[in-house]
Amino acid sequence: MKRLLITLLITYSSNLLSQEVYRIEGVIRGITDGNCILAYNHYSSQLYAKDTAKVDKTGRIIFSKNEKLDTGIYEILLPNRNKTISLIISDAQQFSFSTDTSDIIEKMKIMNSHENKLFYDFQKFMKVNQEKYKEAKLSKNQNIILDERKVFYEKFINKNKGYYVTKLLKTAADTDISNAPKLPNGSIDSTKLFEYYKAHYWDNFDFSDTRLAKTPFLHQKLERYIKNLTIQREDSIIKSANQLINKAQKGYQKDFVSYIISYITNQYEIPKIMGTEGVFVHMVENYYLTEIITLNDTSTLKALKEKISILKPLLLNREIPNIGVQNIRGSFSYIYELNGDFNVIFFYSPSCGHCKEAAPKLKSFYDKYRNYGVQVMPISIEGSEEDWKKFISDNKWQNLANGYGLTVSRKVDYRKDYDAISTPTIYIVDKNHKIIARRIGVEDLEPFYNLHSKDNPLISK
C-alpha cells in the first residue's frame, strides 16, 4: 500500500510538471520582496506584460503557465523597474537562472537553456571588450580591440549556426561595409559608402521569419532607416518607403508589412518637417485604399479618405484654391490678386487668443518686408462683420489686404477647403500662387522668408 501511494504521488507530481508548458525559475540576489514582470517586445521597444511572479526572501521567482510562449526576446522587470533581465525564449521553455543585481550580465548562470547560455556568453565577452575599448586611449590600441571583437563575433556566428540567438545577433548587427566601393586610389568615397550602407541596411533582417516579431529590431531599424538614412524630402521618403515595403512583401509575412506601412503613415500624418505631408497622402492612397492593409473599422478608412481629399490639393507646389472674400470697401478681393514673390494668407478668428497674440507680429513682419515682395492677406473665417472690422482697427491692419471670409464668392468650408482646423492657419504662396509653405507659426515667417529669398536686401546689408 505504501509503495502504491508513493507511485501515485510521483505520477501526480509528474502530471503537474507536464502541465507547465513554460516554467522559468530564477534566483536574483539583491532583491527580497516585490513582484517581477515577464514581458515581451512586439515589434517596438515597448514592453507588454505576459506574467508576474512574487519574489521570496531568497530572491527566488517562478514564472509558470500551461501554455507555450511565443519565440522572442523577453524581459524580466525587477520590482524597482529600473533594471531588467533579458532572456531568449525559443524551444526550451523550462529552464532556470541565477544572477545578482550588482552585475546582471557578469553574474548570470543559466541551466537547461543552451540558447540563453550562448546569449550571455556573447554579452559577457562584449561587455569586457567594450570596457577595454573605453580604457584604451591610443587609437592603435582601440583598433586592436575592435579587431578582437570582430574575430569573436565571426567565430561565434559560424560556430553556432542554426540557433535562434545567432539569428538575433545577426539581425541586430550593423551593416557590413567591408565590400563598399572605393575610389581608384583606394580611399573611401563617403557618398558611395553611404549609398552602399543604406542599400544593404536590411540584408540581415529575414522578413520571412515570424520569430522576429517579438523583438525590438524591426522598430529600431525602421526608425533609423526612415529618420536618419533617408533625406527628409517627400520624394526621398516615398522612394525609401516603397523599396522597403516591396522588400518586406517578398517575405510573405503580412504582419511585418502592415507594421512598416502603419509606422510610416503615422510618422507623416502630422509631420515634424514641413513639406512631407505628401508622404501621408501617398501611403493612404497606395496601401490603404488599395487594401494592401485591410482596416476592419470602416469609419477609420472613411476618415483617411476624407483627410487626403483635404490635404492633396494643399500640398507644397500645388496652386492654392482661389476664393473671393469681402474686403473693407464692400467688394470682393481674391487670393489670386496677390502678386508678390512672398504672399502670406492668414486665416484667423477675431475671438481667437492665439490670433490676437500673432496679429502684431504679422503686422511687424509686413511693415519690415512690404517693399521686398511681401504681401499679406488676413481672412477672418469666424465672427461677425463688426468683430472683423474692430480686429482690423485694434491691430492697425488697414494697409493689409483684409478679407471677411463669411461673405464669399463661392461656397466654402475652410476646414475642408484650406485645412483650417485651428486658427491661425498660415499659407505662403509665390507669385504664381503655388504653395511654398503651410501651417507654420507667425514667428517662423521671417526665418522662412530669409531662407526663401536668396537676394534678401536686408540680409546683405
Q: Which pLDDT tens digits describe the chain residue by residue (461 residues)?
A: 444 444 434 444 444 444 579 999 999 999 999 999 999 988 877 899 999 999 999 999 999 999 999 999 999 999 988 899 999 999 999 999 999 999 999 999 999 999 999 999 999 999 999 999 988 877 778 889 999 999 999 999 999 999 999 999 999 999 999 888 888 888 888 999 999 999 999 999 999 999 999 999 999 999 999 999 999 999 999 999 999 999 999 998 999 999 999 999 999 999 999 999 999 999 999 999 998 988 888 899 999 999 999 999 999 999 999 999 999 999 999 999 999 999 999 999 999 999 999 999 999 999 999 999 999 999 999 999 999 999 999 999 999 999 999 999 999 999 999 999 999 999 999 999 999 999 899 999 999 999 988 654 554 43
Q: How far apart are CA 32 and CA 427, in angstroms?
A: 61
How much is the pLDDT for 140?
Answer: 75
Those residues whose C-beta lies under 8 Å from the C-beta of residue 270, and which sit 6 or more positions away, are none
How much is the pLDDT for 19?
Answer: 55
Asked if 76 and 85 touch (Cβ cutoff 8 Å), the reply is: yes
Residue in 106, 66, 110 with CA at minimum distance from that of residue 88 = 110
Asked if 305 and 289 touch (Cβ cutoff 8 Å), the reply is: yes
Q: Tell me if residue 86 falls in helix, strand or coil.
A: strand
Q: How far apart are CA 327 and CA 26, in angstroms?
A: 77
pLDDT in tens, 386-429: 999 999 999 999 999 999 999 999 999 999 999 999 999 999 99
Those residues whose C-beta lies under 8 Å from the C-beta of residue 3, and which sit 6 or more positions away, are none
How much is the pLDDT for 460?
Answer: 40
How much is the pLDDT for 141?
Answer: 83
Q: What is the 3-state secondary structure of 165-200?
A: HHHHHHHHCCCCCCCCCECCCCCECHHHHHHHHHHC
Residue in 396, 406, 353 with CA at minimum distance from that of residue 376 = 396
Indicate the residue type of 455. D
Asked if 434 and 317 touch (Cβ cutoff 8 Å), the reply is: yes
CA dihedral 417, 419, 425, 427 (to 10 degrees): -70
Exposure class string for 159-175: b at 16+ Cβ within 10 A, else e: ebeebbbbbbbebeeee
Q: Which three cell numbers stand for residue 410?
A: 463661392
Report field, pTM of the whole predicted structure over 0.95: no
Q: How far apart are CA 414 and CA 423, in angstroms?
A: 11
DSSP for 276-288 reads: -HHHHHHHIIIII
Cβ count within 10 A of residue 274: 15
Tell me the residue ranges of DSSP E strands in 299-396: 324-326, 332-334, 342-348, 374-380
Is the backbone peptide bond immediately before 321 cis, with ω within 30 degrees of 0?
Answer: no
Q: Is 277 exposed, middle or buried (0-12, 13-18, 19+ CB in 10 A)?
A: buried
Indicate the residue type of 110. I
Q: How far apart are CA 151 and CA 129, in angstroms?
A: 12
Asked if 63 and 99 touch (Cβ cutoff 8 Å), the reply is: no
pLDDT in tens, 355-371: 999 999 999 999 999 99
How much is the pLDDT for 15?
Answer: 46
Measured CA distances, 341 to 338, 429, 442, 453 (Å): 9, 8, 18, 9
Q: To which residue does cell 512672398 refer?
A: 342
Those residues whose C-beta lies under 8 Å from the C-beta of residue 56, and which sit 6 or more positions away, are 32
Asked if 355 and 348 touch (Cβ cutoff 8 Å), the reply is: yes
Those residues whose C-beta lies under 8 Å from the C-beta of residue 118, and which sit 6 or more positions away, are 156, 160, 163, 165, 166
Indicate the residue type of 153. Y
How many separate helices (H) and strands (E) can be counted in the chain? 15, 15
